[in-house]
Amino acid sequence: MNDGRPCKIVHVPRRFVAGEWGGTETVVLEVSRQQQRAGGDPLIVTSMALADRRREEIGGVPVRRHPYCYPFLGLSAADRAALDKKGGNLLSLGLFLGLLREPGVRLFHAHALKRLGGEVRTAARWRRKPLVVSLHGGVFDVPAAELGTMLKPIERKLEWGRPFGALFGSRRVLEDADQVICVGRSELERARQELTHDRVAYLPNGVDCAKFSRPDGAAFRVRHGIPPDAFLVLTLSRIDAQKNQRLLLEALVRSELADAGVRLLLIGPETQPDYAAGLRQFILEHGLQDRVRMLPGLRNDSPDLVNAYGAADLFVLPSIHEPFGIVVLEAWSAGLPVVASRVGGLQALIRDGETGRFFDPNAAAAADDLAALIARLATDPEGRRRLGEAGREEARTQYDWVRIHEQLEALYRRAEEHARWRHGGGRGGKGAAA
């Protein structure tokens, strides 16, 4: 990148705060770190959602935030908080102006759609810069129930932001992108069907294998009061109906897990407070206080983020919908056996019986099936060891961030090639300069 050309890569996620960490934040940060090591100059530009500082560095990467609003009349404070947590279609004119003024830009990489994606699209077009858009899931294959939950805060609210959506071409973001990146195979297939061009590629998420390879699980158990001989099941994800932690609680009360003394550790930011409250009520009603620990979402730099994997005997991801599942890569890197729902991107990520085990979260007897699977693995240390070692090798050879960054750089160059063609005045549809 240091050949005299602009080397600043501007990443634009909807929000970016260390205390509300998820898969998208991990991807943006780790990709940015790789770009720094390669001589690039990454910058994260985002909104002030859930943040109290306009500028800071997270993991050595500069972050700039701008004021924003949700352009709906009648929103309560609770509505705005819910939109901040999940799926809010925000507007930030300050962010747009910042993109227009940012010097030395090589390309813009949007990690959001809707109005914010439209702002990135328009800034890229006005500045004649390449536009790359990543779909982190939940665009073409969102279940109806989850979509309804995301839209609930704006039900029957008068929207005054539609003119801005039209101005920024919010509905043209994917069509006008010089490269669209899908982290999940299922989303890739849908994107190829829905879009009129073929500038669509699959690029999975990655993992810092070294970071998760030496967790201190014993210290984690001592710090959080977990007995050293307990069989501990870990789920690390947003506390959210999509992630389906309720199913794990229902499995935990089954006799085979109760008799085995299996314990459950739930870690993640609460993106749906009502859902989290329902989990706590279930725990109280079934007397699970000594067998379930719920910890809030951990900062990306917290040692407990790594050590939790080392403390666990089994990792379970019971999601109803999962575009990719970056936590599976983290569990693999720690050598932890994985059980996951046979849904979405997980189906392409895990090989059943080899790098993990599947169950159907939508089956009528899902809780019984999951309990039986956990019980079998709890009494099969050799089977857990084989699954954990196979997963570790899969993460190391296929998903290390160095490898993913090399593939991303190739996609950036394709985007630059298409942008040069586009700004040269050519016209084309599906297949043009792809």
**186 vs 232, which has greater pLDDT?**
232
pLDDT digits (tens, 9 = 90+) for 240-276: 999 999 999 999 999 899 888 899 999 999 988 899 9
Residue 143: predicted pLDDT: 64
Q: Region 80-109: what's the mean pLDDT?
A: 95
Residues 188 and 215 in one domain: no
Residues 26 and 98 in one domain: yes
Please calculate the CA angle 251-312-352 and round it to the nearest 5 degrees: 65
Residue 429 domain-assigned (yes or no) = no
CATH number for the domain harbouring residue 135: 3.40.50.2000
pLDDT digits (tens, 9 = 90+) for 302-325: 889 899 999 999 999 999 989 899
pTM: 0.90
Residue 261: predicted pLDDT: 86
What is the dihedral sign for C-alpha 148, 154, 158, 159? negative
Tell me 254's DSSP state.
S
Sorting pLDDT into bands at 50, 70 and 90, what band is 429? very low
Written as one string, the DSSP assignment of 37-61 is: HTT-EEEEEEE-TT-S-SEEEETTE
Residue 20: predicted pLDDT: 85
Residues 282 and 345 in one domain: yes
Residue 434: predicted pLDDT: 35
β-strands 263-267, 232-236: how paired?
A: parallel
Residue 145: predicted pLDDT: 63
Domain that holds residue 180: 8-206+400-423
Residue 391 domain-assigned (yes or no) = yes
Residue 380 domain-assigned (yes or no) = yes
pLDDT above 90 covers a percentage of the chain that reads 80
Residues 163 and 81 in one domain: yes
Residue 434 domain-assigned (yes or no) = no
Residues 249 and 368 in one domain: yes
pLDDT greater than 60 at residue 430: no
Mean pLDDT of the chain: 92
Q: Region 184-205: what's the mean pLDDT?
A: 93
Residues 326 and 413 in one domain: no
Residue 106 domain-assigned (yes or no) = yes
Please calculate the CA angle 38-43-44 and round it to the nearest 5 degrees: 125
Q: Region 330-356: what's the mean pLDDT?
A: 95
Residues 187 and 107 in one domain: yes
Residue 254 domain-assigned (yes or no) = yes
Lowest model confidence (mean pLDDT) among 45-54, 135-144, 292-301, 390-399: 135-144
- Own/partner contacts of 72-78, CB < 8 Å, gap of 24 or more, are 72/154, 72/157, 72/158, 72/159, 72/160, 72/161, 73/157, 73/158, 73/159, 73/160, 74/157, 74/158, 75/153, 75/154, 75/157, 78/153
Residue 184: predicted pLDDT: 86
Q: How many domains does the chain have?
A: 2
Residue 75 domain-assigned (yes or no) = yes
Residues 112 and 62 in one domain: yes
pLDDT digits (tens, 9 = 90+) for 2-41: 556 779 999 999 999 988 888 899 999 999 999 999 999 9
**What are the beta bridge partners of residue 339?**
316, 357
Residues 174 and 306 in one domain: no
Residues 157 and 178 in one domain: yes
pLDDT greater than 50 at residue 132: yes
Residues 243 and 101 in one domain: no
Residue 113: predicted pLDDT: 95
Residue 136 domain-assigned (yes or no) = yes
Residues 320 and 415 in one domain: no
End-to-end CA distance of the chain: 22
**155 vs 176, which has greater pLDDT?**
176
